Structure 1
Amino acid sequence: MEQEDDFDRDLAGLTPDRRWHEWMARVEAVLFASDTVVPKKTLMAVIGQDASLKKLIGDINAALTHRPYEVVAVSGGWMMRTRKRYAPAIRKARHGDDKGVRLSEAELLVLATIAYQQPVSRADLKDVFGKDVNRDLLSRLQYRKLIANGPRSPRAGAPHTFVTTSEFLRTFDLDSLRDLPEMDFPQA
């Protein structure tokens, strides 16, 4: 079994072309073996110091052009994903057992408001919607790990606030909140 100290990241003994292909294979293997987002730091640990991770991932995706999966940037890292055009086939193979996130219209509206205006307190949400937002609705979003508690609000009593999570980013195929489409929301 290879020990951590014996791991050759730089592969100096290989030709530049062979070294590049080995780094691509390492990155692809790590991504393939993970069912969660893999941070940059983790991938950098398996490639040489002089390697460009962004270029390696670009070359991996170029090699996967005709495959049903790709490497996508999600929540500050990378993940292997099935291409969207294969979703109907996957659903059919699962006999309609789609494990995707299903949200009601109210849940989507509250989640979008939190995403665009975070951190948001329940009072802020009440200001936006003109009525109290049901605690059960917020609990469902927290249970699905789409939102979490944020910093305390500067309002009197320092109420809890809500923010989106890395699971939110992963679920909606976003690398960061900057990838949200531009929209105008009333300010809370």
Structure 2
Amino acid sequence: MSETGAKVIPFALDGQDEGPERQVGRFDLAQAVRIAEAIVFASAEPVSRKTLDARLPDGADVDAVMEEVRRQYQSRGVNLVRVGDAWAFRTAGDLSFLMSRDAVQQKKLSRAALEVLAIIAYHQPVTRAEIEEIRGVETSKGTIDTLMESSWIRMRGRRRTPGRPVTYGTTDAFLDHFGLEEIRDLPGIDELKGAGLLSPRMPSNFAVPQPPSDLDLLADDEDELTDIDLEELGLLTPRVTED
């Protein structure tokens, strides 16, 4: 016992015998891993850090626990993957072809929608006018709506410029669908050229923009969407005031 009365739990160094105190520590980690595994398995959506922190035992290190779950599943038929600031179980990459046999055929995105999605992913936060400037053609509202319905993009805020245009960005569903842990995992220029998605004769000064590291933070020139903004955009039913 320490002078304060708290129990000191020693940990054996590599090569030393492990005492009963070490076994207690190991059991606690194992129990936290089992709890985290059950929570993620039971959820239809990726489980956020906030949810795990609230439901794991007090004092549990969420990162350490989830890394242990990932390690245990790395050679199995399903793997634990990180999606932004959340975790989910997904079919192992080398077995995904088995699932595609019974997969429901999804409607393919148009070329325009793919272009808009790519621009939003790499340039976010970006307005519709900025998307059109990059593409060089007008972007229909239907294209934006299609991407919104897929849950791959969202309205982030409003730009502090005349007219206060809406800014767009990607979602965790976008990361999940394309197998990305974070937006910074998007392919760079060399990877895009290697995949044949860019011409090898691109201008020497061409560069792929680096998306922001934290998509939840508003940019310096963005304002948060308010209820009034949502009502104006048709995303929130106007409140009825009683006389």
Give me the TM-score of the superposition, normalised by structure 2. 0.63
> How far 1:22 moved relative to its partner?
1.2
Q: Find the counterpart in structure 1 of residue 112 from structure 2.
A: 106
Could you tell me which amino acid in structure 2 is paired with residue 97 of structure 1? V
Structure label with greater radius of gyration: 2
> How far 1:140 moved relative to its partner?
0.3
Q: Find the counterpart in structure 1 of residue 104 from structure 2.
A: 97
**Is residue 2:147 matched to residue 1:141?**
yes
In structure 2, the residue corresponding to 1:20 is in which secondary structure? Answer: helix
In structure 2, the residue corresponding to 1:151 is in which secondary structure? Answer: strand
> How far 1:105 moved relative to its partner?
2.8
Could you tell me which amino acid in structure 1 is paired with residue 137 of structure 2? K
Map 1:14-163 onto structure 2 (within 5 A): 15-92=24-101, 94=102, 96-98=103-105, 102-163=108-169
> How far 1:17 moved relative to its partner?
2.1
In structure 1, the residue corresponding to 2:89 is in which secondary structure? Answer: strand
Q: Does the 8 Å contact 1:71/1:78 carry over to 2?
A: yes
Q: Does the 8 Å contact 1:37/1:75 carry over to 2?
A: no
CA RMSD, aligned part only? Answer: 2.3
> How far 1:185 moved relative to its partner?
4.3
Equivalents in 2 of 1:32, 1:145: separation in Å? 22
> How far 1:88 moved relative to its partner?
1.2
> How far 1:74 moved relative to its partner?
0.4
Q: Count residues with an aligned counterpart.
A: 171
Q: Does the 8 Å contact 1:75/1:169 carry over to 2?
A: yes
> How far 1:167 moved relative to its partner?
1.7
Unaligned 5+ runs, structure 2: 1-20, 190-206, 210-243
In structure 1, the residue corresponding to 2:56 is in which secondary structure? Answer: coil
Give the direction of change, closer, same or farther, for the CA distance of 1:15–1:98 in structure 2 (3 Å limit): farther
Q: Does the 8 Å contact 2:77/2:92 carry over to 1?
A: yes
> How far 1:98 moved relative to its partner?
4.1
Give me the TM-score of the superposition, normalised by structure 1. 0.79
In structure 1, the residue corresponding to 2:55 is in which secondary structure? Answer: coil
Equivalents in 2 of 1:146, 1:67: separation in Å? 28
Q: Does the 8 Å contact 1:71/1:81 carry over to 2?
A: yes
- Please, which moves more after superposition, 24-33 or 114-123? 114-123
Pick one of 146, 161, 174 that aligns with 2:180.
Answer: 174
> How far 1:153 moved relative to its partner?
2.6
Equivalents in 1 of 2:105, 2:92: separation in Å? 16
Q: Does the 8 Å contact 2:188/2:208 carry over to 1?
A: no
> How far 1:137 moved relative to its partner?
1.0
In structure 1, the residue corresponding to 2:104 is in which secondary structure? Answer: coil
In structure 2, the residue corresponding to 1:161 is in which secondary structure? Answer: strand
Equivalents in 2 of 1:46, 1:152: separation in Å? 35
Q: Does the 8 Å contact 2:175/2:182 carry over to 1?
A: yes
